[in-house]
Structure 1
């Protein structure tokens, strides 16, 4: 997604002279086009993320729209206090961009992983987080971030292209549709690629609808509340369970009286064996790999359905 991000940022910077881009000494061999396009509006703040966000807040106060770029753990964890106090509480148009969300930086280890980032940020006041699952979602999300001009976080990863039949409902994209689905999968970010691979298994193919959550906090329309009630629901996210998609979604559903027949969460489990590997290795340890997802969906088919009454009846 980094290439799509760089191209979209170049377009946005050309269209809006109030856009400022600050990097925490990262983006080499990827953002040179922005250096050429922005000139003095491209600032390298060095390895000083707290100062980067403080500088951005000051510029935002003077009427600029400021992007702060680094890898996800650096742009979130290192400057959380500054983002909360200087940006969110004052509703400043400062936008954090974190590359390599989840286990994206693999073998570089826990210091370079961001598996709690959305929990840290989505609970702050006045902030919206954006989690593209597919590369072609990055550009429209950036347009929305700039248009809203409020505190925001964009979590980048590595994803393909949105399926042609996808349509937006609230803060979700409906990407796999079936006439009468047995159940539903809701995924967060590019890990949905593992879900799509899992659904190629002939035992479960054509039985489950798939959605991606594009933003936290969530907007769950009544239409989805009805669809997801009284059927199995699987949530898949490369993020810890606490403060993640499954926890936030379950609160939304229960508040509106929706009760899935079964609710299962597959989430980042940290480092259960104390070892590091590439992103696929950590996904496998956490049960986020296609094989485990297939097994979980197969288990849904083998479990008896409870006699639950759908919402609204």
Structure 2
């Protein structure tokens, strides 16, 4: 069976949200046909009106036809600035709401989740979007169970992916479900991609720390943590340093910063270790000691909790370009 994918494009679309999944599905179709197997995909770029649309990078994409009616296979909604600003009752949102009951599967890439949310399709569902916009999605659509660290999420027939290139991860997952693991593996090899990416969005996004707390004593504790992550930062000692009882300090820090002090310390230490692993040649054990973890095993558990990957795997994936044998500026 050939799977029909309908992909709406609009002014302000992110072009890679369109081209990335399109390429995954095109190559999957090629491998199916080369193997003499039935299946594959037809991908239709559609728009409010046929013709060119201007992406948010200035690249022109062409809607080959109007927004269709009737049953479709997969509705794949890309993101971009034009998706985030789609009004609830305007743009392609009414069409998405109308066509949704007639789609076998509904997919969003990156901030295409804002379109699905505006259409009411994500209420009560787990979903994700680009890490930079997860907070806004949760604030504007509180009925959505936003998963900020997921690369992609499936809930029944509704799928959503994280930012930009994560749309290719999601497309590979669609291929694996529709055409089998062997075709997905072949496509991944062709595109030099992992079939399943290790870890979540947090391994790619620089953490956004809480702003300095308005209370001076709590702000002082934050400064102490950032100034020397390797120091003894146990909660009783931090509380004593800023002249508060342990119980009151823990309560106030959590209220003003949004996370308990022990969790905050671990986040800062993980970020410090990330930088050392990316830029230097220290052993994992040495990095753990310099960042206050005490042991490599403690740091490994923290990395798995926060980033979904072990420190040695993180280093192999995110080592600096010059150390990894890539091009330098020389």
Q: TM-score, normalised by structure 2?
A: 0.32
Q: Pick 1 or 2: higher relative contact order, CA cutoff 8 A, min separation 6.
A: 1
> Which has the larger share of helix?
2
Q: Kindly name which structure, 1 or 2, has the bigger radius of gyration based on alpha carbons.
A: 2
Q: TM-score, normalised by structure 1?
A: 0.33
